[in-house]
Amino acid sequence: MIKIAIIGLGYVGTPLARLFATKYPVVGFDINQKRIEALKKGIDSTLELDKESLLSVLVEKPSDNVGLYCSADLEDIRDCNYYIVTVPTPVDKHNRPDLDPLYRSSETVGKVLKKGDTVIYESTVYPGVTEEECVPVLERISGLKFNEDFFAGYSPERINPGDKEHTVDKILKITSGSTPETGHAVNALYQSVITAGTHLAPSIKVAEAAKVIENSQRDINIAFVNELAKIFNLLEIDTHAVLEAAGTKWNFLNFKPGLVGGHCIGVDPYYLAQKAQEKGYNPEIILAGRRLNDSMGEYIATQVVKLMIKNGIIVNDAHLLMLGITFKENCPDVRNTKIVDVIHALSEYGMQIIIYDPWANPEEVMQEYGITTTAVLPEDTFDTIILGVAHDEFLKLDFDQLKSTEKSVVYDVKGVLGRKSDGGL
């Protein structure tokens, strides 16, 4: 009998746990007791699942019957035979991979690992992490031998936070295993619930590499159009008009300029670069793209200040409204949001900045960045308004009512306001 433990109930683990729970007994494990209590009531703070879909699979106690039980108690996952790890893999302040969450979750699984069990990792990593970093932890804690007593797999997550169309079951899944037999077993497990199908990679390292280049490729392409935006701004050419015209060719890749944040695209290239550097190769294109994208916050702040000066607005002590702080539209995820870079850069000019975002949790933003935000539109007017995130609510705003004078600046980071803005990427 298959019984699954999902380790980590965040943006990835919760939808995956719900999906598997439609067919198997599942225990969702997380060390955050508040998170567990909320999920037991059908409340998903990530907004990936609505209350009805979550409650439809929840069970009140762990059992061998189909359904999802959420727990912070290690004993509740002891009788599982598949352990799927979905913890975050961030970078530190020096942009070096931080594997601590993976080490800690591997220690957790190692305490309950039994002969015949399989541990599958979904977290984004560089090639080799599963077998060279995580498996030794599992062996050390459990006392079991890899590929004799227990087995491993890797199936990279492809969750797109806030996307209600490309849900976990509708995204083709890469699978892999530490032995050919394990690979087929892992593939069959996912194939039983993923309607979009699966792709069985020949090895765990191939699957790890495939995941890390997906977002590295996007990062490089966005860096290219960000550089184009800088050039076209100097030439006084509308970047979005250029991209629209170029996009009429059948094989033109449709990327738009902007801030590259979030837990994946802004992080994954550093994982691949780290592994390359360990092998003595310095990846030029990957790191150049990262440097350019990381510089966009400062660039946007500079462009805003130039527009303010041009309009005769005194920059020091100016009232500025930042619309949005999440890393993408219509989503509460604030992980690695680059809006913070813009805020920090503008703060150095002595502006009074109010950040309005109806999607973001003010407590989470304060804990993560030490920044005060509001979920309620301020009853005030502003010298400058920046559309940082294209939430649906922002597109309905009357920007004229938010302006303190006719000279007030509206800067459109996302390129969605058209003539309502005075400038943007």
d(CA 171, CA 189): 15
Instruction: Let me know: does 116 contact 145? Beta carbons within 8 Å.
Output: no
Which amino acid, 66?
Answer: V
Instruction: Let me know: does 169 contact 178? Beta carbons within 8 Å.
Output: no
The DSSP string of 338-393 is: THHHHHHHHHTTT-EEEEE-SSS-HHHHHHHH----BSS--SS-BSEEEE-S--HH
Q: Is 264 a catalytic residue?
A: yes
**Residue 89 DSSP one-character state:** -
Which amino acid, 178?
Answer: S
CA contacts within 13 A on the Cβ side of 387 = 27
b (16+ CB within 10 A) / e for 128-151: ebbbebbbebbbebbebebeebbb
Instruction: Let me know: does 9 contact 35? Beta carbons within 8 Å.
Output: yes
One of 70, 80, 134, 264 is an active-site residue; which one?
264
CA distances from 128 to 83, 276, 340, 393 (A): 19, 12, 32, 43
Residues with catalytic roles: 264
